[in-house]
Amino acid sequence: MITERDLPIPVAIRVADSVTAPPADPAGRVLVTGSHGGRFSGQAAAALGVRGAIFSDAGGGLDDAGIAGLAVLDGLGIPGAAVSHRSARIGDGADLWTRGVISAVNAAAAAVGCIMGQGCAAAAVCMTAAAWRPSAGAAAEEARHLLRGGPVPVWGLDSNSLVRPEDAGAIVVTGSHGGLLGGCAASAVKAPVLAALYNDAGIGIDRAGLSRLPVLAARGIAAAAVAAATARIGDARSTWDSGILSAVNAVASRAGAAPGMTARACVDAILAWNAAAGSATRA
């Protein structure tokens, strides 16, 4: 966890790599988070009782899903903003704080002086002047959906944080970005799944939106990302229904997955590859 000892962060501001792993005492403070700025992230920040929140714009993407959370916050009177994915690494709160450049603001943020082109840190300081509305939001609504049953189930998870130990051996189709949290390899996925699909969040600076993929390859897990323009980030069913791959790791490539393929076709290829490997082992 990032603390005030690590960076010159005012006590009225908290920094975290993900809104699903918030820092201590976020209520009444401004939260700068490496999460995408989608609807779920806005709901999650509001549920924490923040005074304001800043996210990554995740490349905007299909239906501007990467900043949909700003409208959620605006409806509650909470300042919200997003930094350009080209200015700071998604999933890295410290990088947002130090390098992020604001690309979108809601009306509540504009009212306290936040503007596009502003540095993230300056925008966060502006938000500290906002009135605080404690307990402004309900708990965030994210979900697990069984997309396909069978010996190897295919689960749709709106957030990578929903992966469970019992998902070992399954395929998880997520709505999350494909970036490591704070560059930590352990954050790639919490269980030894067969395969995982993510949103590339516009890929962004340092190719951060794809940083999970090589880490998962080293663990023998097939992984791919769909282009942000083809699926709503934070929405696993959108990944499944309309996602088109923009990147695959080495394991997924060996399984027959390739950029330009649909998410469903990618899953079919991985399932066929896995079945063939099992048959060869039994033989």
Residues 162 and 119 in one domain: no
- Token code pair at residue 198: 């993510």
Confidence label for 279 from pLDDT (cuts 50, 70 and 90):
low
Domain assignment present for residue 86? The answer is: yes
Residues 159 and 112 in one domain: no
Is residue 269 over pLDDT 70?
A: yes
Is residue 208 over pLDDT 60?
A: yes
pLDDT for the residue 136: 57
pLDDT for the residue 281: 55
Residues 48 and 121 in one domain: yes
Domain assignment present for residue 135? The answer is: no
Best mean pLDDT range from 97-106, 132-141, 273-282:
97-106
Residues 34 and 59 in one domain: yes
Strand order in the sheet with 80-83: 13-16, 30-36, 52-56, 80-83, 102-105
> Which of 94, 127, 160 is where one domain is finished?
127
Residues 122 and 165 in one domain: no
Q: What is the mean pLDDT of the chain?
A: 93
Domain assignment present for residue 1? The answer is: no
Instruction: Report the pLDDT averaged over residues 125-140.
Output: 79
Closest by CA position to 13, among listed 101, 73, 74, 98: 98
Residues 192 and 238 in one domain: yes
Domain assignment present for residue 263? The answer is: yes
CB atoms within 10 A of CB 123: 27
Instruction: Report the pLDDT averaged over residues 78-101.
Output: 97
pTM of the model: 0.92
pLDDT for the residue 206: 97
Q: Tens digits of per-residue pLDDT, 177-191?
A: 999 999 999 999 999
Residues 114 and 168 in one domain: no
Contact yes or no for 80/56 (Cβ under 8 A): no
Residues 262 and 164 in one domain: yes
> Which of 127, 153, 175 is where one domain is finished?
127
Domain assignment present for residue 23? The answer is: yes
Residues 150 and 99 in one domain: no
Domain assignment present for residue 6? The answer is: no
- Which stretch of 69-78, 140-149, 261-270 has the lowest confidence by average pLDDT? 140-149
Residues 123 and 211 in one domain: no
Domain assignment present for residue 138? The answer is: no
pLDDT for the residue 82: 98
Q: Tens digits of per-residue pLDDT, 2-24?
A: 433 345 778 899 999 999 998 88
Residues 187 and 68 in one domain: no
Is residue 142 over pLDDT 80?
A: no
Sign for the pseudo-dihedral over CA of 149, 153, 154, 159: positive
Domain assignment present for residue 139? The answer is: no
Contact yes or no for 58/91 (Cβ under 8 A): no
Confidence label for 58 from pLDDT (cuts 50, 70 and 90):
very high
> Which of 92, 127, 162 is where one domain is finished?
127
Is residue 282 over pLDDT 80?
A: no
The span from the CA of 129 to the CA of 45, in Å, is: 18
What domain range is 95 assigned to? 13-127
Instruction: Report the pLDDT averaged over residues 120-139.
Output: 84
Question: How many domains does the chain contain in total?
Answer: 2
Residues 161 and 114 in one domain: no
Question: What number of helices (H) and strands (E) belong to the chain?
Answer: 9, 11
